[in-house]
Amino acid sequence: MKIGFHTDAFNSAYFSFEKCLAWAQEHDVHYIECGLIDGVSWIHGLGYQPHVALYEDPVLLRRRMEGYGVRFSQVDAAYPLSGKDGPLRGVPYVLKAIAWAHLVGCPCVDTTDGMAPPEGLSDAQAMDMMKRSYEQIIEVAEAHEIIVNIEPHGHFTTRPEMMARMLDFCDSEYLGLNMDTGNTFIAGQDPVAFLQRFVGRARHVHIKDVSESLAATVRGETTGIAVSHCALGDGVNADNIRKCLALLRDGGYTGILSMECEGQGGPMIEKSLAWLRTSLKNLGIPIES
């Protein structure tokens, strides 16, 4: 398997994307994931946000990343597709992200639903709407040979029975699962059982622990974590993560394990990286560059 990280780790440190690339190079990490910005943001323009705008030329960015020995594992275009504005705002955003990902050499685009039940829509109506949206999205994804992943993060996607239906929206090898160990746990699910059901569909994985205090406060009452303020191995989800890694190993997964945690400007994500490398070694899982 391969180790990467989401640049969300450096939101609070106000890193630029370039500084994230330098951190990756320094710590021998060769895969990175970031959010995509569709437009202009002052904080990003000033260099205080570790994500990438779609106005940036993808080919020139790819060449710059190659200089650091880093490539994209996935780009995040996870505007909620379950709400009324999903087709209006979410679908065009994802379609732009797919074409951009193709040019930058990124294999995957991440998508999801909203955390709350969609206002003014029944579950059935929202599912029908999302099915039409994903049909449009996958048509473009197939043309560009980009995998579109669905991440458990919201009202529908953290419920296994709904995720199963969503993964069957399209009969396509370009629709897959972005497993998230932290979101499934905080939503009240068993991450191991969740992954076991869908392990054959996993195309990208977020590795996220959960602090004891957060779990005691909101587990089962929310569906996602913006950024986990807990190093991998320090939380109540650590044993589930180890079991998920073993499931992925036994299922033949050789893709990316993308760390998602607060970085504290470096120390917390460095601790997470050391824990993940040790856990993989103990499980007999080779780490590929």
Query: Residue 144: its pLDDT value, please?
Result: 98
- Provide the pLDDT confidence category of residue 106 given band limits of 50, 70 and 90: very high
Domains of the chain: 2-282 (3.20.20.150)
| Residue 256 neighbours by CB under 8 Å, 6+ apart | 1, 2, 3, 4, 31, 33, 73, 74, 204, 205
Q: How far apart are CA 85 and CA 254, in angstroms?
A: 36
Bridge partners for 2 per DSSP: 256, 288
Taking only the tens place, the pLDDT of each residue in 158-182 is 999 999 999 999 999 999 999 999 9
Q: How far apart are CA 179 and CA 207, in angstroms?
A: 8
- Is 192:164 a contact under the CB 8 Å cutoff? no
Query: Residue 126: its pLDDT value, please?
Result: 98
Query: Residue 212: its pLDDT value, please?
Result: 97
Query: Residue 73: its pLDDT value, please?
Result: 98
Q: How far apart are CA 289 and CA 278, in angstroms?
A: 16
Q: How far apart are CA 270 and CA 24, in angstroms?
A: 10
Query: Residue 18: its pLDDT value, please?
Result: 98
Taking only the tens place, the pLDDT of each residue in 213-253 is 999 999 999 999 999 999 999 999 999 999 999 999 999 99
- Is 11:227 a contact under the CB 8 Å cutoff? yes
Q: How many angstroms separate the first and last alpha carbons of the chain?
A: 9
Taking only the tens place, the pLDDT of each residue in 40-91 is 999 999 999 999 999 999 999 999 999 999 999 999 999 999 999 999 999 9
Report pTM: 0.97
Q: How far apart are CA 263 and CA 190, in angstroms?
A: 25
Side chain identity at residue 261, one-letter code: C
